[in-house]
Amino acid sequence: MSLFISLASISLMSVLFGRKTAGTKLATVNYARGLVISLYLVSWAFSLIAAMLVQTNNFNEISCTMSVYSCIILYAFSKIIIYLFLMEKVYVVTAVGTTRSNFMVREYTFSDKAIIWLQNVFLCSRACSRISEQ
């Protein structure tokens, strides 16, 4: 049953990615659209890698650890991409009458701190998992 759900998810992501990029030339892809396309790619990779690693696990500890870490990393990448996309939308809505450089310095400083915080959370969770293994 889990393999069927994984394959349905991979197929759905492939259809959505195909519909989003149909007829699009690489030169016309702007920042926001590039983020959406990369989100589709990361979600597709998450579904594909999770399906492959779950089906080939066979109670192997290394395979299990690899699947957990790869899923965590791809999930974190998808959250970072969503965060960058939302930050771009905040700029579009609130930056009326300001220059992009002045607004983006302040907003990107805040956003960089938030992304560094996400990286620290990942590193702390990795350290805690290594401590619990010992």
The number of domains in the chain is 1
Residue pair 57/67 in contact by the 8 Å Cβ criterion = yes
Distance CA 11, CA 92 (A): 33
- Which sign does the torsion angle of CA 99, 102, 103, 105 carry? positive
Distance CA 15, CA 51 (A): 18
Distance CA 109, CA 3 (A): 42
Q: What is the pLDDT along the chain (134 residues), one digit of tens a residue?
A: 777 887 888 888 788 778 877 877 777 788 888 888 888 888 888 888 878 877 777 777 877 777 778 888 888 888 888 888 887 777 777 666 666 565 556 666 777 677 777 777 777 777 776 666 65
HSE, CB side, 13 Å, CA atoms: give it for residue 101: 0
The predicted model scores a pTM of: 0.67
Domain boundaries, position 87: 2-133
